[in-house]
Amino acid sequence: MTNRKTMTTAAGTPVADNQNTLTAGPRGPVLMQDYQLMERMAHFNRERVPERVVHAKGAGAYGTFTVTGDISKYTRAKLFDKVGNRCETFVRFSTVAGELGSADTVRDPRGFSVKFYTEEGNWDLVGNNTPVFFLRDPLKFSDFIHSQKRNPATGRRDPVMQWDYWSLSPESLHQVTTLFSDRGIPATLRHMNGYGSHTFSLWNAGGERYWVKWHLKTMQGIQCLPNEEAARIAAENPDFHRQDLYEAIARGDYPRWKVQVQVMPERDAETYRIHPFDLTKVWPHKDYPMIEVGVLELNRNPEDYFAEVEQAAFEPGNMPPGIGASPDKVLQARLLSYPDAHRYRIGINYAALPVNKPRCPVHTYHRDGHMRFDGNGGGAVNYQPNSFGGPADDAGYREPPLRISGEADRHDHRAGNDDYGQAGDLFRLMSEEQQAQLVGNIVGAMRPVPREIQVRQIGHFAKADAEYGRRVAEGLGIPLSRA
């Protein structure tokens, strides 16, 4: 005996034959009235949603976040009101430049996005495995990404475009140094750190605001892949990182990260020697030491890749009361661009999809729109103010006001900015072996690039650290005097 279910159409009507198309005679032609054939072909044609322009290739898993350190004096977020609090999470890792079918083990930053389903709504920390980024002004984002994607004429990725853009954008140097370091290709998604990268804020019930930087430190230890090993894996198994994460969780080897935060009192931002809202800079730990916050553990695989990982929608603007944004220009642009991308990619009602849906009740006045599948609010009142007990705003959740001043202008973000100091610090903290890898990786990547661009870029390396510049120049056979 079998209790196999009867196959149906999408409307639930039983299917009598899923092997043979309805035809006029055994040799055809097909009859238009074969509704089932039409339905199956039409649905198949629409199986893909547009892939993300960046961060297309990803892997994801559910997990648990547990608070282990008390930061309640900085934030009123209920998640942090006592040590021991827990919430469910969903994490999506990704490469940046490659398409949905690209190889995992390429040199690229990795997206590291965490959705915390808190009792006061979702908190999305949408970060990377690097503490900084290639730019500090969001107007440059699409230019930067174009330079890293495919050449419009050849349809190939193009080192000339990449190094041309970088060499003309010195603010990228810190991140370029990170990217070409040993950490530029993580061994697995479990063996890399995550960073919120931007400066965010925390605010407490007393109306005090603090600027913060989030860090997620791998408890598996940092492990990386050298170029040759990464290339071999990419050829043999382009889904290597996806497979590793899935299998580790399936066998109960749950990856974990220590969540830590650096905290700066609001007024320090006015006098701190480093521009605190510059996405190309870190805050040295001796200035703002790491504070323990919690542990993130991934312990449950998704059941359906498309439904959960592909439809996962993270947005930096998802912040429960007590957590806030900052004047970081790139963060501000992302507050708009992420939900905008989701509306385009998976539709206006993306927040109601199971992977994105908050675990707490949601009371909005949103109605209708494509693919409304959650009851649409039923007969509840759909405007506000109203006399019928509809949800109401609550001033108790008001964020403290932020003092802002200045002249509205297109201020030159490159003027007077030190693009070299922290890139040099990174070079100097590397071991001899790491420096040799960095230089080797850069020299290999820059070989196909015209001499003029090589010389310009070597000038940047040399400004970060004379030794850094000298070794890249030597590797490319260029006298340092020319750079």
d(C-alpha 117, C-alpha 358), whole Å: 6
d(C-alpha 330, C-alpha 147), whole Å: 18
Please tell me whether residue 197 binds ligand NDP under the rule CB under 6 A: no
Judged by DSSP in three states, 216 sits in strand
**Active-site annotation, residues:** 55, 128
Residue 273 Cβ vs ligand NDP, minimum distance, rounded to whole Å: 12
Residue given tokens 């947005």 in the structure block: 315
Nearer to ligand NDP, 67 or 282 (CB): 282
In this chain, which of 54, 348, 430, 445 binds ligand NDP, going by CB under 6 A? Answer: 430
Please tell me whether residue 434 binds ligand NDP under the rule CB under 6 A: yes
Nearer to ligand NDP, 179 or 353 (CB): 179
Please tell me whether residue 193 binds ligand NDP under the rule CB under 6 A: yes
Judged by DSSP in three states, 380 sits in coil
Residue 146 Cβ vs ligand NDP, minimum distance, rounded to whole Å: 26
Residue 193 Cβ vs ligand NDP, minimum distance, rounded to whole Å: 5
In this chain, which of 183, 198, 258, 334 binds ligand NDP, going by CB under 6 A? Answer: 183
Judged by DSSP in three states, 116 sits in strand
Judged by DSSP in three states, 16 sits in coil
User: One-letter amino acid identity for 439?
Assistant: V
Residue 229 Cβ vs ligand NDP, minimum distance, rounded to whole Å: 18
CB 197 within 8 A of CB 279: yes
Nearer to ligand NDP, 285 or 359 (CB): 285
DSSP secondary structure string for all residues of 168-203: T-GGGHHHHHHHTSGGGSBSSGGGS-EE--S-EEEE
**Which residue pairs, CB below 8 angstroms and at least 24 apart, start in 151-160?**
157/97, 159/445, 159/446, 159/448, 159/449, 160/448, 160/449, 160/450, 160/453
In this chain, which of 77, 426, 473, 483 binds ligand NDP, going by CB under 6 A? Answer: 426
Please list, residue by residue across 364-388, b when 16 or more beta carbons sit within 10 angstroms of its beta carbon and e when fewer do: eeeeeeeeeeeeebeeeeeeeeeee
Please tell me whether residue 181 binds ligand NDP under the rule CB under 6 A: yes
Please tell me whether residue 75 binds ligand NDP under the rule CB under 6 A: no
* Contact code string over 259-298 relative to ligand NDP, x by CB under 6 A: -----------------------xxxxx------------
Closest residue by Cα to residue 217 from 131, 138, 305, 282: 131
- The phi-psi region of residue 252 (left if phi > 0; otherwise alpha if psi is between -120 and 50; otherwise beta) is left
Among 2-10, 41-49, 369-377, 418-426, which window interacts with ligand NDP (CB under 6 A)? 418-426
Please tell me whether residue 415 binds ligand NDP under the rule CB under 6 A: no
Please tell me whether residue 326 binds ligand NDP under the rule CB under 6 A: no
In this chain, which of 131, 194, 339, 358 binds ligand NDP, going by CB under 6 A? Answer: 131
Please tell me whether residue 425 binds ligand NDP under the rule CB under 6 A: yes
Closest residue by Cα to residue 116 from 78, 83, 143, 90: 90
d(C-alpha 292, C-alpha 70), whole Å: 8
Please tell me whether residue 129 binds ligand NDP under the rule CB under 6 A: no
Nearer to ligand NDP, 217 or 343 (CB): 217
Nearer to ligand NDP, 74 or 288 (CB): 288
Residue 65 Cβ vs ligand NDP, minimum distance, rounded to whole Å: 20
- Contact positions vs ligand NDP (CB under 6 A): 131, 181, 183, 193, 217, 222, 282-286, 422, 425-426, 429-430, 434
